[in-house]
Amino acid sequence: MKNTSILKLTTLSAAIIASSAVLPSVAFAEGAMVEEIVTTGTRAKARSATDTVAAVDVITSAELTNQGDMDVANLLRNSVPSFSVNDQPISDAATLVRPFQLRGMAPDHSLILVNNKRRHRANVIVWSAGGISDGSHGADVSTIPGMALKNVEVLRDGAAAMYGSDALAGVINFKLKDASEGGSVQLRMGQYAEGDGDMAYFAGNMGMELGANGFANVTLEYGSSDETVRSEQRNDAAGLIAAGFPVADPAQKWGRPFVDNDLKLFVNFGSQLTDSVELYGYANYASKDVDGGFYFRNPTNRGGVYAKDGNLLVGDTTGDMSGNCSQYAVDASDPTSSALAAAITGLKADDNCFNFNETIPGGFTPRFGGTVTDVTFMMGLKGELENGLSWDVSAYRGENEGDFYINNTVNASLGENTPRNFDPGLYRQTDVNFNADFKYSLSDTVSLAFGAEHRTEEFTIGAGQKESYIDGGLGVQGFSTSTNGFPGFSPDISGDFDRSNDAVYVDGEWDVSEDLLLAAAVRFEDFDGFGSTTNYRLGANYKIDENFGIRATLSTGFKAPTSGQLNASNISTLIDNGVLVNKGVIPATNPVAAFAGATELKPEESENFTVGFFGSVGEVDITFDYFNIDVTDRLTLSKDFSLTTADIASLAAAGVSGADDIAVFRFFTNDFETKTSGFDLVLSTSTDWMGGSTDWNLAVNHTTTEVTSRGEYIDDDRERSIEEVSPDTRYNISANHMMDGWRALARVSYFGDWYDPNQGMSYDGEHVVDVELSYDLNESSSVMIAGQNIFDEAGSKKHNGAAGAGNTYSEFAPMGFSGAFWYAKYSYNF
């Protein structure tokens, strides 16, 4: 019996995979047609997913926790084609908190809710993600454990008039489990097909009674995952090894980072205090250590450390410049040169002159990482008065911190006295929200909601250790100051930067008839620093007959610049035309930026339009929604500007760490306009066959972004990155078959063409196939074996990765570039 069942399920999986090859290039979101009651996108009352004026995808807890990955961002990518996220190797702090996109927009264009309440931003401002995310400051969804979720509601519509700033692309609402009894535990282990990236995680959820009329639902997740390496030895490193330099193989690692001590704890609670008053809230604590690699520093040509103007960089350590060190400043371009070898030998014997080949002869590759900590507490009271007025008051405080480190590097200006490991400082984001919300039914068909919000955001830059930002004495001789790769934050640029805003809103829904729903919302918001904004949203849902209906929305929106975007400074070491270049980001209010043309930042503004239909054809449920999002005064990082000697002196006087080493600088600017448009198509059905039932799902997303206007601070490369880094087309097709305690799933995901700005080339789209096979051991426990990306797709290989930075595959591959991942899971329910 078991062998027969396995054979049937294997045959079914193969048939699904084979059939997917003839499907058109379209995409869809698994489970999106689940007919559940949703609360996202409506304040008047909960409605079914097809009764709302805009599309809402509902992703179940089981769909999320059955996957191999533990990062919620990756789980959503597999379920919602309009949601995308990729690996972020060598991306500074974006490696710790990866940026995501919804419907081709930046991370901070999507509002994140937990239990219908706005969640705080992450500490990370994305400096170098290479596309639409550059300069964004969004939330960190990876701190939310999948097992804590009852479901996830994804509103694919602009909703700033309902929820405030950021909701231009849509809203993702994470709904926490609220059971007062029972629970489950899971043990998950996996490894990539190449034998690395080992993962082991434990997760548990338990519901408990809280007093006589309440509940506390607790989720704990803990684990770790090793790095993956998809590199080939760089040509320059191979040449150094041949010349006798002690260089590691590979000199530079590309892949997923180490994630250690990954702890996530969530507690959702509620209690009925009286017949008409309920206490509710949630709290969470999350922390993890993340460690990844940076670019290799070549011991013959890394400027500011080993070389200057093509020659060895040699420092005179006598104090009075009497060391006659110029004799060692030979041509360093040829590592096999006998003159270079002789100079290095001479330096080792000369106490008056110094070059880093004396202490670090094989070059070095910095390791960058940090500890990300996330803490939240939200509590509220809600109830209903005798006249039918419902009320809800709540307070929220959320904090996300990144405490960084950079190891295996130098502050070159300290010479041989430099430490190798540094604490460069921290970023911290803290949000405090107070809300008062009310609802009242004017009649059986007219519902009114209104309320007010006060919100404060604070961005903190914490200073690093002294050695991470000072000039140790050799700076005047051409040695780089501050930590190489990620300069520490000096006390001059550190501090707390906050901003507050107040808002009031009115939101109404009118059930004109059993077939027609009309909705409208208006919100007024006033910000410290740049004034007020008023936004609206109109929507309608009309059921043509019992099988079909249409819906549409029209709205305006806005995204206010964050305190971090207004105040943060940063230096990143990036590849520019094959050469490592230190690029600085300075506030738009800095005099150097102002001289280059920077002006005070202002909010982005949007106009959103959606129209679509929903219905059934036989046993197949269908939804189709078109969207168009026009954004003006779009916020981004400017093109690069060269620094003059006077500019460098001005930045140094302002306390910008490593100012002497910055080749070019950038700043935030409202300098372009975009049109993002596309459609989402979702089909789902179920069939009874092969001794069981199969749920079939197809979800297609097609999104294009066009820069419709730009100013002088956006160049052609930046425009192409905005338009082409993310794939235009995504789709998922899946079949989930259940039979006699067995469950088998096969899912095919398509990721369309993408552009790699670091290489200046485009890559063809890829299909990725996932499979799962689970068996119920008894009523309480089950086992599952599964594979993600089982055919080991990692994107087309670069033409010659060894000639550049040694990455075998494009770092911007939208499905990741580590290849096939195999895992097993044991579950026990109680």
Lowest mean pLDDT among 55-59, 221-225, 588-592: 588-592
User: pLDDT tens digit string along 227-264?
Assistant: 999 999 999 999 999 999 999 999 999 999 999 999 99
Give pLDDT, residue 341: 96
Mean pLDDT confidence for 646-661: 74
If asked whether residues 261 and 349 sit together in one domain, one would say no
Mean pLDDT confidence for 148-163: 94
Q: H or E element: which one contains 559? A: strand 548-559
Mean pLDDT confidence for 403-427: 97
Between residues 292 and 718, the one the model is more confident about: 292
Give pLDDT, residue 18: 34
Give pLDDT, residue 12: 34
Give pLDDT, residue 579: 66
Give pLDDT, residue 714: 87
Give pLDDT, residue 2: 39
Q: Is residue 52 part of a domain?
A: yes
If asked whether residues 210 and 346 sit together in one domain, one would say no
If asked whether residues 452 and 333 sit together in one domain, one would say no
User: pLDDT tens digit string along 484-535?
Assistant: 999 999 998 899 999 999 999 999 999 999 999 999 999 999 998 888 999 9
**Alpha-helix residue ranges (DSSP H) falling in 21-70:** 61-65
User: pLDDT tens digit string along 109-125?
Assistant: 999 999 999 999 999 99
Question: Residue 183, CB half-sphere, CA atoms under 13 Å: how many?
Answer: 18
User: pLDDT tens digit string along 696-714?
Assistant: 999 999 999 999 999 988 8
Q: Is residue 360 part of a domain?
A: no
Which of these three, 317, 335, 354, is where a domain ends?
354
The set of residues, in sequence order, having a beta carbon less than 8 Å from that of 443 and lying 6+ positions away, is: none
Q: Which two tokens stand for residue 158?
A: 């602009």
If asked whether residues 241 and 382 sit together in one domain, one would say yes
Tell whether the model's pLDDT for residue 627 goes beyond 80: yes
Tell whether the model's pLDDT for residue 274 goes beyond 70: yes
Give pLDDT, residue 595: 78
Give pLDDT, residue 639: 87
Give pLDDT, residue 576: 67
User: pLDDT tens digit string along 157-198?
Assistant: 999 999 999 999 999 999 999 999 999 999 999 999 999 999
Mean pLDDT confidence for 328-355: 95
d(CA 626, CA 705): 14
User: pLDDT tens digit string along 295-336?
Assistant: 999 999 999 999 999 999 999 999 999 999 999 999 999 999
Confidence bin at 6 (pLDDT 50/70/90): very low
Range of the domain at 325: 307-354
Lowest mean pLDDT among 387-401, 657-671, 675-689: 657-671
Give pLDDT, residue 14: 37
Give pLDDT, residue 658: 67
Mean pLDDT confidence for 20-37: 40
d(CA 125, CA 563): 11
If asked whether residues 660 and 573 sit together in one domain, one would say yes
Mean pLDDT confidence for 425-439: 97
If asked whether residues 449 and 401 sit together in one domain, one would say yes
Give pLDDT, residue 575: 63
Q: Is residue 170 part of a domain?
A: yes
Give pLDDT, residue 3: 42
Residues of the chain with pLDDT > 90, as a percent, come to: 76
Q: Is residue 286 part of a domain?
A: yes
Lowest mean pLDDT among 63-77, 544-558, 568-582: 568-582
Provide the CATH number for the domain around residue 508: 2.40.170.20
Tell me the three state secondary structure of residue 266.
strand
d(CA 825, CA 583): 44
CA dihedral sign, ordered 229, 231, 233, 235: negative
Overall number of domains in the chain: 2
CA dihedral sign, ordered 697, 105, 428, 399: negative
If asked whether residues 179 and 326 sit together in one domain, one would say no
If asked whether residues 563 and 415 sit together in one domain, one would say yes
Tell whether the model's pLDDT for residue 536 goes beyond 60: yes
Q: Is residue 667 part of a domain?
A: yes
Do 258 and 538 touch, CB atoms closer than 8 A?
no
Which of these three, 321, 354, 387, is where a domain ends?
354
The set of residues, in sequence order, having a beta carbon less than 8 Å from that of 63 and lying 6+ positions away, is: 30, 31, 79
If asked whether residues 212 and 150 sit together in one domain, one would say yes
Which of these three, 335, 354, 373, is where a domain ends?
354
Q: Is residue 818 part of a domain?
A: yes
Mean pLDDT confidence for 603-619: 95
* Distance from chain centroid for Cα 368: 18
Do 163 and 113 touch, CB atoms closer than 8 A?
yes
Residues of the chain with pLDDT > 70, as a percent, come to: 94
Mean pLDDT confidence for 768-792: 96
Give pLDDT, residue 584: 79
If asked whether residues 337 and 401 sit together in one domain, one would say no
Between residues 630 and 86, the one the model is more confident about: 630
User: pLDDT tens digit string along 91-109?
Assistant: 888 899 999 999 999 999 9
d(CA 607, CA 632): 9
Give pLDDT, residue 11: 37
* Distance from chain centroid for Cα 327: 50
Between residues 253 and 574, the one the model is more confident about: 253
Give pLDDT, residue 782: 96
Tell whether the model's pLDDT for residue 385 goes beyond 70: yes
d(CA 515, CA 493): 59
Between residues 653 and 253, the one the model is more confident about: 253
Q: Is residue 359 part of a domain?
A: no
Per DSSP, the residues of 603-663 read -EEEEEEEEEEEEEETTEEEEEEEEEEEEEEEEEEPPPEEPPHHHHHHHHHTT-TTGGG-S
If asked whether residues 497 and 589 sit together in one domain, one would say yes
If asked whether residues 77 and 140 sit together in one domain, one would say yes
State the average pLDDT for the chain: 90
Q: Is residue 629 part of a domain?
A: yes
